[in-house]
């Protein structure tokens, strides 16, 4: 949903697709792109988004190691704060009447998406990078092959299939909501959903771990 909000209500910035952003940053200056009249984010704009994304991952991982050990909700707390900051920045710059999300809020959103990738950590490493859908499909295909040859179970690929389905459903939900409310409101909606996820994660996972 975050990706849909950023893509639909901006100039087509990606906040979850760093592969595409890297290609844009490298290819933006080629004459074949300019000759076709393609107008979009500059290489510098896209490069800053990539830096913001990596910074979000790094800071969230540091906070997990330093303060949020065995607390999955920590990453969503940081992402929620980032999304509210992006929404408030958008309102401050554009108000609620402007039907677009400008560049600076998009940078904050990219940071927030990067932070979300620290939600699943095992042995000090990110075990499931949430915004890396290509990797999710690779893991799903690998699990399907293992299950098909009898060397595994349905759970080797089912969880990745559910994760992929959730990502696609979230994008669709973001698209629907974006066409209905649009403007900066969609950022507040995404922040509220992320905050709800934080609360659910805290009571379902964190307290369960403590009580266990």
Q: 69 and 80 in contact (C-beta within 8 Å)?
A: no
Q: 120 and 135 in contact (C-beta within 8 Å)?
A: no
**Quick one: how far is CA 84 from the chain centroid?**
14
Q: What are phi and psi of 120, to 5 degrees?
A: -110, 105
- pLDDT number for residue 210: 46
Q: Find the mean pLDDT for residues 103-115.
A: 87
165-197 pLDDT, tens digit each: 988 888 887 777 777 766 567 778 888 888 888
- 91: CB partners within 8 A, 6+ apart: 184
Q: Residue with structure tokens 């969609």?
A: 186
C-alpha torsion 163→164→166→171, nearest 10: 140
What gap in Å lies between CA 202 and CA 180, rounded to an integer? 31
- pLDDT number for residue 15: 76
What gap in Å lies between CA 122 and CA 52, rounded to an integer? 24
Q: 55 and 111 in contact (C-beta within 8 Å)?
A: yes
3-class state of residue 122 by DSSP: strand
- Other C-beta atoms within 10 Å of 136: how many? 21
pTM of the model: 0.77
- pLDDT number for residue 211: 45
The domain ranges of the chain are 2-128+182-211
Q: Is the pLDDT of residue 162 over 60?
A: yes
CA-wise closest residue to 171 among 50, 8, 24, 49:
8
CA-wise closest residue to 18 among 129, 155, 147:
129
């Amino acid at each position: 949903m975050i990706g849909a909000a950023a893509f639909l209500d901006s100039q087509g910035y990606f906040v979850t697709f760093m592969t595409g952003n890297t290609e844009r940053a490298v290819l933006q200056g080629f004459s074949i792109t300019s000759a076709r009249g393609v107008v979009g984010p500059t290489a510098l704009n896209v490069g800053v988004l990539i830096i913001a994304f990596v910074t979000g991952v790094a800071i969230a991982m540091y906070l997990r190691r330093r303060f949020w050990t065995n607390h999955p909700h920590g990453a969503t707390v940081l992402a929620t704060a980032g999304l509210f900051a992006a929404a408030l920045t958008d309102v401050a710059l554009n108000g609620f009447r402007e039907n677009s999300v400008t560049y600076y809020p998009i940078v904050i959103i990219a940071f927030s998406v990067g932070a979300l990738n620290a939600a699943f950590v095992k042995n000090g490493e990110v075990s499931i990078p949430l915004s890396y859908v290509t990797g999710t499909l690779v893991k799903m295909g690998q699990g399907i092959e293992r299950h098909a040859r009898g060397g595994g179970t349905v759970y080797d690929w089912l969880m990745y299939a559910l994760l992929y389905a959730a990502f696609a459903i979230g994008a669709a939900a973001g698209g629907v909501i974006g066409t209905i409310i649009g403007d900066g409101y969609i950022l507040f909606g995404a922040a509220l959903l992320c905050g709800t996820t934080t609360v659910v994660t805290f009571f379902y996972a964190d307290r369960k771990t403590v009580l266990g």
